Amino acid sequence: ILFIMTGAFIAMGEGLATALLIRYITYTSLFKNTKQQLSQIMKYPILSSSFIVLILGFTLPYLIYPYRNTATIYGMLANSVILTQYYSTTFGGISPLYIMLLILFFSIITYITFGKPKIRKTEIWNNGVDGQEEYTAFAMANNIRQMLKKLLRPEEEKFLPTYGLDVFWEYIYKLAKLIRRFGKSFGETLINSSISWYIIYITLALIIMIIVATMG
């Protein structure tokens, strides 16, 4: 369970980081430029390169990786699952085809549910001061807040006639304080330079080594 939770958190972090990077690139490369600059940018094969990366990422795993499942799986197309094997043991499988279909499906559902995203395409007025506009930390995190506010309804909507809850301060911050308190108690109790606890560590380590050696 711990490894599954860790993998889920890593996947969520990667997804949010990717969305944030896309927002930054589109802002600095497209929406931050004038029409003349934008026409120059669009001359480069950005769109075609994106399609090439997408197609190669979808097809290359099937062409390069040798282990494909030929057995019939309910609800899956034949040869669509790539297996993870070590010698003769199968650990699991992944299907790039179904990943693409799921991404497309949820993108369509999100578009139908929430509509077209609101994107600011006009130049920002900087109080008459010339200079390069830059994203602050708050503005860089705005993309993540916009994605999550439909579900979490954060603090900024507390005056609207909808029930909202700041998940960070209500749960995550309390969980972090609990973990910090546990780590402090654990360190003060066990890692305290006590000779008695040191002997216990050595004894437990020897027992574990004997068990592992016996099982091997």
Which of 166, 183, 207 is the last residue in one of the domains? 166
Q: Indicate whether 156 and 104 sit together in one domain.
A: yes
Same domain as 105, residue 59: yes
Query: 61 falls in which pLDDT band (50, 70, 90)?
Result: low
3-class SS letters over the chain: CHHHHHHHHHHHHHHHHHHHHHHHHHHHHHHCCCHHHHHHHCCCCHHHHHHHHHHHHHHHHHHHCCCECCCCCCCCCCCCCEEEEECCEEEEEECHHHHHHHHHHHHHHHHHHHCCCCCCCCCCCCCCCCCCCCCCHHHHCHHHHHHHHHHHCCHHHCCCCCCCCCHHHHHHHHHHHHHHHHHHHHHHHHCCCCHHHHHHHHHHHHHHHHHHHHHC
Whether residue 86 is found in the same domain as residue 179: no
Q: Which of 64-73, 86-95, 122-131, 149-158 has the lowest mean pLDDT?
A: 122-131
Ramachandran area for residue 123 (φ above 0: left; ψ -120 to 50: alpha; else beta): beta
Domain end among 125, 142, 166 = 166
- At residue 135, the pLDDT reads 55
- Asked if residue 69 and residue 26 are part of one domain, the reply reads yes
Whether 107 and 17 map to the same domain: the answer is: yes
What is the pLDDT, as a whole number, of residue 199?
78
Q: Is the pLDDT of residue 14 over 70?
A: yes
Domain range spanning residue 184? 173-215
Answer yes or no: do 133 and 193 share one domain.
no
Task: Characterize the bridge pairing of strands 89-94 and 82-86.
Answer: antiparallel
Inform me whether the pLDDT recorded for 213 exceeds 70: yes
User: Looking at the structure, do residues 147 and 94 belong to the same domain, yes or no?
Assistant: yes
pLDDT digits (tens, 9 = 90+) for 75-110: 666 667 777 666 666 666 777 777 778 888 888 888
Question: Average pLDDT of 121-136?
Answer: 54
pLDDT the model gives residue 104: 83
Helix axes 96-114, 46-64, angle to 10 degrees: 140
Number of domains observed in the structure of the chain: 2
| Domain identity same for 141 and 204 | no
3 band by pLDDT with thresholds 50, 70 and 90: low
Q: Are residues 144 and 190 in the same domain?
A: no
| Residue 54 and residue 154 in one domain | yes
- Binned at pLDDT 50, 70 and 90, residue 43 comes out as low
How far is 97 from 107, CA to CA, in rounded Å?
Answer: 15
> Both 130 and 199 in a single domain?
no
Q: What is the pLDDT of residues 152-211, one digit of tens each?
A: 655 555 555 555 556 666 777 788 888 888 878 877 776 666 777 777 877 888 888 888
Specify the pLDDT at position 206.
84
129 and 62 in a common domain: yes
